Amino acid sequence: MRLAIVNIGRIVSGDWRAPFAPGSAILAEDGLISQVGEVGRATFDSCDVVIDAAGSIAIPGLIDSHVHVTFGDYTPRQKTVGFLESYVHGGVTTSISASEVHVPGRPKDRAGVKALAVAALKSFESYRPGGMRVHAGAIILEPGLTQDDFAELKNQGVWLAKAGFGAFETPYDYADQIAWANELGMVTLVHTGGSSIPGSSGIWADHLLKLRPKVSFHTNGGPIAMPDADYERLAHESDIALQVCTAGNLRTTLLTAALLVQANAFDRLLIATDTPTGSGVMPLGMFYTISHLSSLGGIVPEQAIAAATGNNAAVYGLNSGIIAAGRDADLVLIDACAGGSKDDALSALANGDIPAVSAVIANGAPCFVGRSRNTPAAIRGVKVIRNKVPQDFAGSPH
């Protein structure tokens, strides 16, 4: 499919160092962005689908790097069906599993945790709820796993490793397994803060500085935060990516962001939701945290958006998250909500408002165009002005 988006008011790139891309059009072909800037008449005429952005703002599809999936589009924690498809209507085009820890009867033996990781990975390889790409299958670190187990898992495609729920005596005991996973190039993830579920342990800066994972999960608290002094240590004494989540502590979200800006390490700030958990299902959680950082944290909206897109993509090694030629064509059109006090999406975010989501494109194909069922209507009327594909791309009604 060849798709063009034209009449874009502004293109937010997802790269916090160069947050805007010039031009007013984006061309996508076969799932990848092929052109950013302008689209000539001949190219326009050859497109299968053309979307008129009507002056709204284009951003990369949001990457929620902390979602508790199980199997299918279902969460037993909240007994909710279709939550991932609903997150698409919140602008999320990619979700990364925080391990399948909430699978009922989750196995904890060596064979079981390996089987669970591989099964989850493979079940989502071709299943895209609502068009969303889901990276699942994090191996949950448990006593008894060997270095050979990690090599076996890596050969089967498993690339995520999660510490924080294993039956180790202390968090320091994860060190060998995290080191083995790091050596294989896996992305290592460590629960941070107080205990989140019965049987898990608290993990603080002393542990993280010893373990040296790639990502500190919900650094701001999941949901219970660390002591304040630990945040400065993680910001200035490590190169660990610090993930802040909507379902955590807002005050320490702002503290984490401020410390990373101070340390000239904004690329280490990642936005996620840590849902569904006891905090519930939050389809607009990513935009809420972006608005909190923009309105309360002094971070300009285009850079806050980068923490939810390009920063996540860089840390996890994804081809999405940036609007540039050759990157995945995962795109979202946003605007100020009708009836609000601002007249564009970036101003609305700086004001603390969520934006209206007017269209979501995943893998170069529209998931919906016109109106999200989870946000108020936009000021501007985004619409499909050419469609050679037998589908209308309209979003489901409220």
Q: Is 395's pLDDT higher than 90?
A: no
Q: Which residues pair with 188 in a beta bridge?
A: 161
Q: Which residues are CB-neighbours of 151 under 8 A, at least 6 positions away?
A: 184
Task: Please state, in angstroms and rounded to a whole number, the distance separating the CA atoms of residues 101 and 165.
Answer: 8
pLDDT of amino acid 398: 44
| The token pair that represents 65 in the structure block | 């790097």
Q: Which residues are CB-neighbours of 61 under 8 A, at least 6 positions away?
A: 91, 92, 93, 94, 309, 320, 321, 330, 331, 332, 360, 361, 362
Task: Please state, in angstroms and rounded to a whole number, the distance separating the CA atoms of residues 130 and 143.
Answer: 37
Task: Please tell me the CATH code under which domain 62-283 is placed.
Answer: 3.20.20.140
Q: Match 């990848």 to its residue by tokens.
A: 32
What's the pTM? 0.96
**Average confidence (pLDDT) over 361-381:** 97
pLDDT of amino acid 39: 86
**Average confidence (pLDDT) over 265-290:** 96
Q: Within a 10 A sphere around the Cβ of 40, how many other Cβ atoms?
A: 11
| Domain ranges for the chain | 2-60+322-387, 62-283
Q: Within a 10 A sphere around the Cβ of 299, how many other Cβ atoms?
A: 25
Tell me if residue 179 falls in helix, strand or coil: helix
Average pLDDT, rounded, for the chain: 95
Strands (E), 285-376: 331-335, 356-362, 365-369
% the chain with pLDDT above 70: 97
Of the candidates 313, 392, 333, 386, the one whose C-alpha atom is nearest the C-alpha of residue 24 is 333
The model's pLDDT over 135-176, given as tens digits with 9 standing for 90+, comes to 999 999 999 999 999 999 999 999 999 999 899 999 999 999
DSSP 267: G
Q: Is 197's pLDDT higher than 60?
A: no
Residues in the chain: 398
- CA-based max dimension of the chain: 66
pLDDT of amino acid 347: 98
pLDDT of amino acid 222: 84
What topology does CATH give the domain 2-60+322-387?
Answer: Urease, subunit C; domain 1 (2.30.40)
**Average confidence (pLDDT) over 180-193:** 97
| The token pair that represents 353 in the structure block | 């408002």
Report DSSP letters for 55-119, one per residue.
T-EEEEPEEEEEE---SSSEETTTTEESHHHHHHTTTEEEEEES-STTSTT---SHHHHHHHHHH
% the chain with pLDDT above 90: 91
The model's pLDDT over 84-119, given as tens digits with 9 standing for 90+, comes to 999 999 999 999 999 999 999 999 999 999 999 999
- Contact predicate 39/25, CB 8 Å: yes
Question: Predicted confidence band at 44 (pLDDT cuts at 50, 70, 90)?
Answer: confident
